[in-house]
Amino acid sequence: MLDMKFLRSNPDVVKENIRKKFQDHKLPLVDEVIELDQQYRNAKVRGDELRAQRKSKSKQIGGLMGKGDKEGAEALKAEVNAMGEELAALEASEDELQKKIRQIMLVIPNIIDESVPIGKDDSENVEIERFGEPVVPDFEVPYHVDIMEKLKGIDLDAARKTSGNGFYYLCGDIARLHSSILSYARDFMIGRGFTYYVPPFMIRSEVVTGVMSFDEMENMMYKIEGEDLYLIGTSEHSMIGKFIDTILPEENLPQTLTSYSPCFRKEVGAHGIEERGVYRIHQFEKQEMIVVCKPEESMKWFDVLWNNTVDFFRTLDIPVRTLECCSGDLADLKVKSLDVEAWSPRQQKYFEVGSCSNLGDAQARRLGIRVKNAEGAKYFAHTLNNTVVAPPRMLIAFLENNLNEDGSIRIPEALRPYMGGMEKIEVK
């Protein structure tokens, strides 16, 4: 959410940013919110005037009564009562105007960083760098579900009976592999100085609207019927929500956190849900990283975060590349975003396995997350998040890149301690 003072002083900058994001239908909102803001400030000025006049006249009433001027006192009382009625109407108007202003400000997109490439959608994202050599083996790489089924590691048919499409049972060595990757990711991030958390898996609506846009909320979140609670789509939601309405001492920054959670997503949209596959699903588990920092340090932390994911995947012998998200592919709260994509030998292309985002002060402004410096001045923090790893989607890349010709799966050295020393998963 933008600062109203900034929008009021820079309407053309805000409109140009909307055009860069190809959201021209939001352009009228800028003028509309400026007009509402003017009405709100006029009402506030008038309200302050009335309060001062009412206080003054109330004092005069006592003086007139002391002099025996009852008629004059009653006349002033009538004026004070009329002021009270006008003031009550103004206060109601102020509340209503504030609500309207906030509703509009929540849908006006954040100002993107000047380094973000301009483009309409994800087809115009820009490749930045590749890490590791993509390899296509001289044998056929089966579909990932076929690999898992051959290893007796997945049961989609039973999951469809219990829960429908978009769910799965993992079992045996594949289930162990799934858990081992998450345990390794936890320790990997702890080793990089991040504090480990297991957060709440449900959050209230005020946190939901604080961490994401309305479009994201509608397409992602499951609401708990009869409760002001939503299942989280990522642990970033509850981890950023942890700081709601707090003032952090500047010396306590940065906050560098890594969190595990199950994630639940409706996955509404054109992609749909595969009957056979674990790429786009309703339920998965994820290790996340979150940073709360000073504004001048957020771009430095942005680079640290995505490099962590690249390094993690390379320790598992998975080639990856980084992709700069263009303006039209950025969610409204984001200042800058970069996807990490893993190599698929079967498809002979890269696919997304993580997303690193700098949200500037947008989430902090919505949630009231402020920092107090040594001089006592307060300002809004910057927040960032990035995926460490999100199996079972990541399992697709892992299985394809570590597949042997006989159908067995090689276990990279970094993961072997979490697999009981196992060097490969054998075909059953």
pLDDT tens per residue, range 154-203: 999 999 999 998 899 999 999 999 999 999 999 999 999 999 999 999 99
Could you list the residue range(s) of the whole structural domain that residue 196 is in? 122-425
User: 115 in a domain, yes or no?
Assistant: no
CATH of the domain at 55: 1.10.287.40
- Does the annotation mark 337 as catalytic? no
Interatomic CA distance for residues 173 and 256, integer angstroms: 33
315, 413: one domain = yes
324, 381: one domain = yes
Q: What is the pLDDT of residues 95-107, one digit of tens each?
A: 999 999 999 999 9
Interatomic CA distance for residues 421 and 70, integer angstroms: 96
Count CB atoms within 10 A of the CB of residue 213.
Answer: 18
Torsion of CA 268, 274, 277, 281, to 10 degrees: 20
The whole-model pTM stands at: 0.89
Catalytic residue among 96, 352, 410, 416: 352
User: 117 in a domain, yes or no?
Assistant: no
pLDDT of amino acid 273: 59
- Does the annotation mark 352 as catalytic? yes
Mean per-residue pLDDT for 206-219?
A: 85
User: 78 in a domain, yes or no?
Assistant: yes
Catalytic residue among 186, 265, 346, 366: 265
What tokens does 63 get? 């003086």
Catalytic residue among 355, 365, 366, 400: 355
Q: What is the pLDDT of residues 4-44, one digit of tens each?
A: 999 999 999 999 999 999 999 999 999 999 999 999 999 99
Element of type H or E holding 79: helix 70-105
pLDDT of amino acid 55: 81
94, 178: one domain = no
- Does the annotation mark 41 as catalytic? no
86, 11: one domain = yes
96, 126: one domain = no
User: 112 in a domain, yes or no?
Assistant: no
Count up the domains in the chain and report the number.
2
Of the candidates 199, 416, 215, 203, the one whose C-alpha atom is nearest the C-alpha of residue 317 is: 416
Average pLDDT, whole number, for the chain?
93
Catalytic residue among 54, 365, 366, 393: 393
User: 111 in a domain, yes or no?
Assistant: no
Q: Which of 77, 105, 133 is the last residue of a domain?
A: 105
62, 188: one domain = no
193, 245: one domain = yes
Catalytic residue among 280, 370, 410, 416: 280
- Does the annotation mark 235 as catalytic? no
184, 247: one domain = yes
pLDDT of amino acid 270: 40
pLDDT of amino acid 345: 97
Element of type H or E holding 400: helix 393-401
DSSP label at 403?
Answer: B
Phi, then psi, of 241 in degrees rounded to 5:
-60, -25
57, 190: one domain = no
- Report the amino acid identity of residue 277: G
* 242 to 199, 220, 324, 364, 380: CA distances (angstroms): 9, 20, 29, 11, 15
150, 52: one domain = no
170, 267: one domain = yes
pLDDT of amino acid 272: 52
User: 113 in a domain, yes or no?
Assistant: no
Interatomic CA distance for residues 370 and 357, integer angstroms: 20
Max CA-CA distance within the chain?
Answer: 108
89, 145: one domain = no
Q: What is the pLDDT of residues 287-309, one digit of tens each?
A: 999 999 999 999 999 999 999 99
- Does the annotation mark 265 as catalytic? yes
User: 353 in a domain, yes or no?
Assistant: yes
CATH of the domain at 157: 3.30.930.10
User: 114 in a domain, yes or no?
Assistant: no
Q: Which of 40, 75, 105 is the last residue of a domain?
A: 105
